[in-house]
């Protein structure tokens, strides 16, 4: 029996090593995609503002965000029909090839290039994110997804400022070449993605069990809305030479805190469960938003760092919880819904601040948005989580019916490890 246990442990270790190796190759591909995205995040609006003014710059961001959300919603069916490798190849090409058109002299062609690149980003999110979730063992899903998240979080720390420097000192052709190269070089890493198999069509993201996913989706949207609001606040203040350096440092600290929280939060998620991680992120996000109301230099730095850390916790916790509440067949739909919530939240936060600031001022707008986000999180917790978990149990016990075991939702990591050893529940543990 000892030999059998040793062989089983050796097999598990070898399997984990293979999964970590594939996750590393997958992360390298997303690292290139992230650099291609962040290098043009600020440089594309800056270039287009010279062609068509502020309206053209704003349209570029809006068009790209909408295209990303639309492609993310459509991506699960593309993955099922074409396979992850083909979809990621299309995504990398869509991000890289239009870069020279994006930084050209024709405004209309540049805006079309924004749409194509936005769609490519949405396809890459789902194709790679779904594979990362599949590779992660249920008991260590938070840690695996946290490590994978670093591939996209780390470039946010340096690539935005690097892109602005390249544009200012080397010109638009250089930034187009750099962004295009970062995207297209990932085509050499297509071996990290499995070839297409004869799998059944995946359920579209709009057919997911939304009653179980409502709360984490709202949290993800609210967290992204707070970040979108902060970016808009900082963008309006960055024009001042006195505050410009503070904004740059605050954004750097925000990216650094978000990247650290994605990794560290993943380990905490496996130890304490995603719900506690989400709750901590919500509390810290509310605190950070209220700090930003002050508007001075310390408030901007502290608020940006705290909000980055909070959103890192929220992103990891919500994704792990959504995956735990669905089956393995829904993994691409979950990633699509999660990314759409992120894009929608960024847009809503920026739009809400712009509208409210004109009516009640910048500080009042920040406070109002913070209260709305915290209220939405609390109300959705009461309406969706408590009703979903408590009401069925009460109705069963009142009729004298024996209650079925609760659905496994990664609340107790030790329980997952114990359950996963039983042959009859191994498949459900993997699916969750």
Are residues 212 and 183 both part of a single domain? no
Which pLDDT belongs to residue 367?
A: 92
**For the residues 181-197, what does the mean pLDDT come to?**
88
359 or 403: which carries more pLDDT confidence? 359
Shared-domain flag, residues 76 and 43? yes
Cβ–Cβ under 8 Å, residues 317 and 278: yes
CB of 286 closer than 8 Å to CB of 367: no
Q: What is the pLDDT of residues 67-85, one digit of tens each?
A: 998 999 889 889 888 889 9
Same-domain check for residues 131 and 265: no
Contacts 24+ apart (CB under 8 A), 134-139: 134/328, 134/331, 135/19, 135/22, 135/23, 135/26, 136/19, 136/23, 137/16, 137/19, 138/324, 138/410, 138/416, 138/420, 138/429, 138/430, 138/432, 139/270, 139/413, 139/416, 139/417, 139/420
Averaged over 171-186, what is the pLDDT? 95
Same domain, 183 and 212: no
**What pLDDT shows up at residue 269?**
83
Query: What is the tally of structural domains in the chain?
Result: 2
What pLDDT was estimated at residue 199? 54
Q: How far apart are CA 117 and CA 12, in angstroms?
A: 40
Task: Residue 202: name the closest of 74, 66, 89, 68 by CA.
Answer: 74
Question: Residue range 180-205: average pLDDT?
Answer: 78
pLDDT tier, 393 (very low <50, low <70, confident <90, very high otherwise): very low
Asked, for residue 74, whether it belongs to a domain, the answer is yes
Q: Are residues 28 and 144 in the same domain?
A: yes
The Cα-based distances of 196 to 88, 199, 226 in angstroms read: 12, 8, 39
**Is residue 68 domain-resident?**
yes
Q: Average pLDDT in the 177-201 region? A: 84
124 and 335 in contact (C-beta within 8 Å)?
A: no
* Residue whose tokens read 């459509």: 74
Q: Which parts of 155-198 fold into alpha helices (H)?
A: 155-170, 172-184
Rounded average pLDDT over 149-166: 87
On whether both 184 and 283 belong to a single domain, the answer is no
Joined together, the tokens standing for residue 73 give: 């919603």
In angstroms, rounded to a whole number, what is the distance separating the alpha carbons of residues 293 and 295? 5
Residue 376 sits in which domain range? 208-398
Please tell me whether residue 96 adopts helix, strand or coil conformation.
Answer: helix
Tell whether the model's pLDDT for residue 221 goes beyond 90: yes
405 falls within a domain: no
Structure token digits, residue 119: 């769609």
- Same domain membership, residue 162 and residue 16: yes
Claim to verify: residue 167 and residue 215 sit in the same structural domain? no
Last residue of a domain, one of 144, 159, 191: 191
Residues listed for the chain: 432
Alpha-carbon distance values, 161 to 76, 135, 394 (Å): 33, 33, 55
In angstroms, the CA 411 to CA 415 distance is: 8
Structure tokens at 7: 């062989």
What is the spatial distance between Cα 68 and Cα 64, in angstroms, rounded to a whole number? 6
pLDDT digits (tens, 9 = 90+) for 354-377: 888 888 888 898 999 999 999 998
Quote the CA–CA distance of 253 and 12 in Å, as a whole number: 38
Is 60 contained in some domain?
yes
The predicted model gives 382-404 an average pLDDT of 51
Residues 115 and 216 in one domain: no
Tell me: the pLDDT tens digits for 278-310? 999 999 999 999 999 988 888 999 999 999 999
Can you give the pTM of this predicted structure? 0.77
Q: 351 vs 50, 198, 232, CA distance in Å?
A: 23, 44, 9
Query: 136: which 2 tokens?
Result: 């992660």
Q: What is the pLDDT of residues 240-283, one digit of tens each?
A: 566 777 887 888 899 899 989 988 888 888 888 888 889 999 99
Per-residue pLDDT, averaged over 4-20, amounts to 51
**C-alpha to C-alpha distance for 311 and 156, rounded to whole angstroms:** 14
């Amino acid at each position: 029996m000892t030999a059998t246990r040793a062989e089983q442990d050796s097999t598990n270790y070898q399997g984990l090593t293979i999964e970590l190796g594939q996750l590393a190759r997958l992360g390298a591909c997303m690292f290139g995609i992230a650099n291609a995205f962040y290098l043009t995040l600020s440089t594309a609006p800056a270039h287009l503002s010279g062609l068509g003014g502020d309206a053209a710059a704003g349209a570029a961001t809006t068009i790209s965000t909408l295209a990303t959300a639309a492609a993310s919603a459509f991506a699960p069916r593309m993955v099922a029909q074409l396979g992850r490798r083909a979809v990621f190849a299309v995504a990398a090409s869509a991000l890289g090839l239009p870069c020279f058109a994006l930084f050209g002299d024709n405004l209309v062609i540049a805006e079309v290039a924004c749409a194509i690149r936005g769609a490519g980003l949405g396809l890459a999110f789902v194709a790679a994110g779904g594979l990362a979730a599949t590779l992660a063992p249920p008991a260590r899903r938070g840690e695996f997804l946290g490590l994978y998240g670093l591939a996209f979080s780390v470039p946010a720390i340096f690539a935005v400022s690097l892109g602005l420097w390249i544009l200012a000192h080397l010109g638009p052709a250089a930034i187009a070449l750099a962004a295009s190269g970062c995207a297209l070089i990932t085509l050499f890493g297509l071996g990290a993605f499995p070839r297409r198999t004869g799998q059944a069509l995946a359920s579209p993201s709009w057919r997911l069990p939304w009653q179980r996913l409502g709360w984490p989706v709202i949290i993800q949207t609210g967290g992204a809305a707070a970040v979108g609001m902060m970016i808009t606040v900082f963008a309006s203040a960055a024009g001042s030479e006195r505050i410009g350096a503070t904004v740059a440092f605050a954004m750097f600290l925000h990216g650094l805190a978000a990247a650290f929280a994605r990794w560290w939060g993943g380990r905490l998620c496996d130890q304490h469960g995603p719900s506690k991680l989400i709750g901590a992120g919500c509390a810290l996000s509310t605190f950070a938003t209220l700090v930003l109301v002050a508007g001075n230099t310390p408030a901007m730095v502290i608020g940006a760092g705290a909000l980055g850390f909070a959103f890192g916790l929220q992103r990891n916790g919500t994704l792990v919880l959504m995956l735990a509440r669905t089956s393995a067949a829904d993994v691409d739909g979950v990633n699509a819904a999660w990314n759409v919530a992120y894009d929608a939240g960024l847009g809503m936060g920026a739009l809400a601040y712009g509208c409210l600031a004109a009516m009640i001022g910048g500080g009042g707008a920040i406070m109002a948005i913070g209260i709305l986000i915290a209220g939405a999180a609390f109300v959705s917790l009461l309406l969706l989580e408590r009703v979903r978990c408590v009401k069925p149990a009460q109705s069963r016990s009142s009729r004298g019916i024996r209650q079925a075991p609760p659905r496994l939702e990664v609340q107790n990591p030790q329980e997952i490890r114990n359950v996963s050893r039983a042959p009859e529940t191994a498949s459900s543990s993997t699916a969750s």
